[in-house]
Chains A and B, each alone.
Chain A
Amino acid sequence: MNLLRELTDKPWIATEGIPGAGQEQKMLSAVSSGRAAIKWLFGVGSVLFFLLIVSYGERMTYEDWRPLPESKLLWFNTIALISSSVAMQWAVIGGRRDEIDDVKIGMLSGGITAVVFLAGQLLAWRQLVQMGYFETTNPAIAFFILITGLHALHIVGGLIAWGRTAQKVWWRGCEAGQIRGSVELCAFYWHFLLVLWLVLFGLLFAGNNNLSIILAICGLR
C-alpha cells in the first residue's frame, strides 16, 4: 500500500538529485480533486446516516414503538433511483467512447428518473398523511420524514451539479471528451446516493424489520 509505505518513510533522509525525477508526475486536475472530495463527502454522509440509523434503532428498542406502515410506493421509488444510477453510468460509458448522443440520453434519463424519485418520495409523505399516520409524536413517522428528507436534499444537491453538467452538454454544446470528467463525477455521486438509499430502505423502510432482526441478534430488542 502506497499510503502505508509513505507513513513508514524515514523523513530525516534528504533526497539526492531531483525529487520525483524519472517518475510520472500527474497534473492535478479538477476531476481528480473532485473525485477525492466526493469520496470524503461520502465519509461525512455515511457517518450522518449511520448515526440516524443508530438513533432509529435506539428508539425501536422502546416498548411503545409503532412501526411504519408498508408502502409499495417506496419500492417503485427505489426502482426509479436504480434506473437513475444505471442511466448515469450509461452516460459515463458514452463519454468514454466519445459518443455525445449516449451521454445526452444517459444524462437526460438519469435526471428525469432522479426527479421521479423525489416526486415519489413526496407522494409517500402525502400517503402517510392521507392514511392518518402523520402524527408528529410517532417516532417512526418523524424518523421517516427526517431521513428521507435529508436523503432527498442530497439528491437535490446532486441535481444542481447535474444541471451544471447538463448546461455544458445542451447549451454550450461541449463535446463528449470535454464533459467526461463532470459526467463521471455526477455518476459517482449518484451511485453513492443509491447505495445509501438501498441501505436505508433495506434496514428501515422495506417493511420487513431488518433492523429489528439485527437488534434482536445483538440482544437489544
Chain B
Amino acid sequence: MADATHDDVGYVPPAEIEEQDLYHAKSWITKYVFCQDAKVIAIQYSITAIAIGLVGLVLSWLMRLQLGFPEAFSFIEPDDYYQFITVHGMIMVIYLLTALFLGGFGNYLIPLMVGARDMVFPFVNMISYWVYLLAVVVLCASFFVPGGPTGAGWTLYPPQAILSGTPGSDGGIILMLVSLALFIVGFTMGGLNYVVTVFQARTRGLSLMRLPLTIWGILTATVLALLAFPALFVGAVMMLLDRILGTSFFMPSIVELGEHLSYGGGSPILFQHLFWFFGHPEVYIVALPAFGIVSDLISVHARRNIFGYRMMVWAIVIIGALSFVVWAHHMYVSGMNPYFGFFFATTTLIIAVPTALKVYNWTLTLWRGDIHLTTPMLFAIGFIVTFVNGGITGLFLGNVAIDVPLSDTMFVVAHFHMVMGVAPALVIFGAIYHWYPKITGRLLDETLGKFHFWVTFLGAYLIYFPMHYLGFVGVPRRYFELGDTQIFDQSVGDLNAFISIVTFIVGFAQLVFFFNLYRSYSKGKEAGPNPWRACSLEWQTAETPPGHGNFGKELPLVYRWPYDFNVPGAKEDFIPQNMSQSEAFPKRKAAAKTSRSRAAKK
C-alpha cells in the first residue's frame, strides 16, 4: 500500500520463502503437468477429485436403478449392487470430498490467504498429488481385475471383506486396501505442507487470529487427518496381511463352506475400532473446511463481519478435538459394554454444543446484514439449513436407545448423506462460484448458478426426506431388493421409485453447472481483481488469476482481520487486510493532521 513501504521503519524483510527456494517452471511439462505451483496442483487435485466423483455419482444412479425399479434391470446382479455401494461410498468420502477440500481448496487458498508465495515444500506437494492420482488409478483398476472391485461395504468390515463369498475378494479388496494406503501416504505429504505453511509462511502482520476462518477450517481438518489417517493405514495394512499372508489380525476362527480356514484368534472388532477412530474424525475432516468456507461466504455476501470470530475459531478446534472421542457411536450394535455406549453417547451429544454455537453465529452474522442473494450465498444458506437438519438426526442416532432400532436402516443412510454428502457438496459448489473469478478472471453465470442451486437444493430434500421416513418404517440399508416382503406397504416401493427419479434429475442438473464452468471460462463476465469486494488477501493479488509467486514483487503487509465490512468512517464498505489505517480512513487522517497543526500553532 502507498504509505506502507518498508522505508518508513527501515527495511524489515517480510517472512517469506527465500527466492532460491521458489520453484520456477522451465517447460510446458513442468508448468502444467509435473508442476510445483500450489495453484496448479490445486486444479489438478480438483479435476481428478471431480472426475472420480462423477464415477461415484454414476454408481449411485446404478444403485438407485435397482432400488427404485427392482428386477427391471437384469444387468444389475446382487454382487454388482454391493460393489456399487462400496466403491461409491469410498469414492465420495475419501477420493472426492477429502481430496477436494484439502488438496483442492487447501492448495489454492492456503498460500494466497496467508500471504505466501507458495507452499513451503513445493516438490513434496507435487509428489503428494501424483501419489493421490496413483491411488485413484489403483482404485479404478479394481474394476478390471477378475471378480471386480470389493463389495464389502465402504467400512470394509472383516471377516467378510476378505472371505470368498464377498464380491471382489480376489483382487478387488487388495487393490482397495493398497489404494487407501497410497492415498494416506500422499495425503500425509500434502498435509504436512499445509500445516507448516500456515504456521510458518504467514506474511507479516497475519497473526493466527487474523486468519480467515476458511484457513482455520482447512488447518484443523488437516491436523485431524494427519492424526486420524494412521488408524486407517494400520487397519488397511493389517487387513492386507490377513488377506495376502494369511495372518490373523482381524480374522477369527472360521468355517467356510464346510472347510475350516487357517485363520484363528483375530479380532474383527479391533478393525471396527481402528476404522471408526479414523472414520468419525473423517466426518469433520470434511465438515470443518466446509464450516470455514461458509463463514467466509456468509460474511462477504452479507457485508458483515463474522459474529464471534474467536468463538468460531475455538469451536472449530474443540469440535476437532472432540471428534477423536466419539468413534464408537458407530458401533453401538457391536455388542459393546453399555457403559461404553453411555460414554460415547455423552461425548457425541457434547459435540452438538460447539456446532450449535457455529450455527447461531452464522445466523447472527446474517442478522441485519446487507444480504446479497448471490449464488455463493444461496449455497451457503443451503448448507446451514442442511447441516442443521442432518445434525439433528445425528442427535437421534447418537443416543443408544434410538440408534439400536434405527441401526442399519435407510434412516442412517439419509442422515449421513444429508450431513456429510449434501451439506459439504453445497459448500463446494458455493466455494467454486465464489472463487472461480479469482481462478479464471471471469464470473460464473448467475442465472445458471441459481437454477443449479435450486434444483440441487430442493432435489436433495426430495431425495433424503422420504429416505428418513423409509428408515423409520424399517426399510433396511444394504439390501439388494426387498422382494415380496409382507411387512412393507406398496408405498415403500413407490417412494423408492420416486427417490430414484429425483436422483437422476438432480444428477443431470449438474450438467448445467459443468456447462457454466465451461462457458464462463471464455465468455463469462470479466471479474476484475475483487468482484465480491472481499477483504482477505487472495483478492488483493497484483494479477487475476494470480501469477507465479502470487503477490508480485512484495508480499502484502497485514493490518487487520479479513472481516472489516461496513466499518463506520471507512471510505468503502470493506477494508482489505493489507490496507493501512490511514488509507482506510483518509478523513480521520486529515482530521488528525489538522489537529496536530493547530496544536503546533498554539
- Residues in A lying within 8 Å of B, measured CB to CB: 3, 6-12, 14-23, 25-30, 32-33, 36-37, 40-41, 43-44, 47-48, 51-52, 55, 58-59, 62, 64, 136-137, 139, 142-143, 146, 150
Contacts and interface: CB of A to CB of B under 8 A. Distances in A.
A-B pairs with lowest CB-CB distance, top 5: A19-B205, A48-B230, A14-B560, A9-B209, A142-B247
Nearest to B556: A19
B204 A19 contact: yes
B566 interface: no
B36 to A, nearest CB: 14
A142 B226 contact: no
27 contacts: A9-B210, A11-B209, A12-B561, A12-B563, A14-B559, A14-B561, A14-B575, A15-B205, A17-B9, A19-B558, A20-B204, A21-B9, A27-B16, A28-B16, A28-B18, A33-B121, A33-B201, A40-B192, A40-B196, A55-B234, A55-B238, A55-B270, A59-B249, A59-B270, A64-B265, A136-B246, A142-B241
Interface stretch (B164-172, B305-313, B407-415): B305-313
Interface string B8-27: 11001111111001000000
A67 to B, nearest CB: 14
Kindly state the interface size class of chain B when it binds its partner.
35 or more
Contacts of A30: 18, 21
Given A11-B210, A21-B12, A23-B12, 16 more contacts: A6-B207, A15-B581, A18-B8, A21-B8, A21-B9, A27-B15, A27-B16, A30-B21, A33-B120, A37-B192, A55-B238, A59-B267, A137-B247, A139-B266, A142-B241, A146-B237
Interface in B353-402: none
A71 to B, nearest CB: 20
A51 B231 contact: yes
A64 B267 CA distance: 12
B274 interface: yes
Contacts of A37: 120-121, 192-193, 196
B543 to A, nearest CB: 23
A42 to B, nearest CB: 11
Given A40-B192, A51-B277, A28 B249 contact: no
Interface in B50-71: none
Interface of B: 4, 6, 8-9, 12-18, 21, 120-121, 188, 192-193, 195-196, 199-201, 204-205, 207-210, 226-227, 229-231, 233-234, 237-238, 241, 245-249, 262-267, 270, 274, 277, 305, 309-310, 313-314, 557-561, 563-564, 575, 581, 584
Given A15-B559, A18-B8, A25-B14, A136 B245 contact: yes
A7 B313 contact: yes
B234 A15 contact: no
A44 B195 CA distance: 13
B226 A20 contact: no
Given A27-B18, A28-B16, A52-B234, A6 B208 contact: yes
A64 B192 CA distance: 41
Nearest to B18: A27
A142 B267 CA distance: 14
B107 to A, nearest CB: 16
Given A37-B121, A44-B188, A137 B234 contact: no
Contacts of A19: 204-205, 557-559
A137 B557 contact: no
B207 A139 contact: no
Nearest to A16: B581
A167 to B, nearest CB: 16
A32 B21 CA distance: 13
A28 B227 contact: no
A28 B121 CA distance: 12
A143 B270 CA distance: 14
Contact of B196 (A7, A36, A58, A64): A36
A54 to B, nearest CB: 9
B299 to A, nearest CB: 12
A49 B326 CA distance: 21
Nearest to A52: B234
Contacts of A14: 559-561, 564, 575, 581, 584
B498 to A, nearest CB: 44
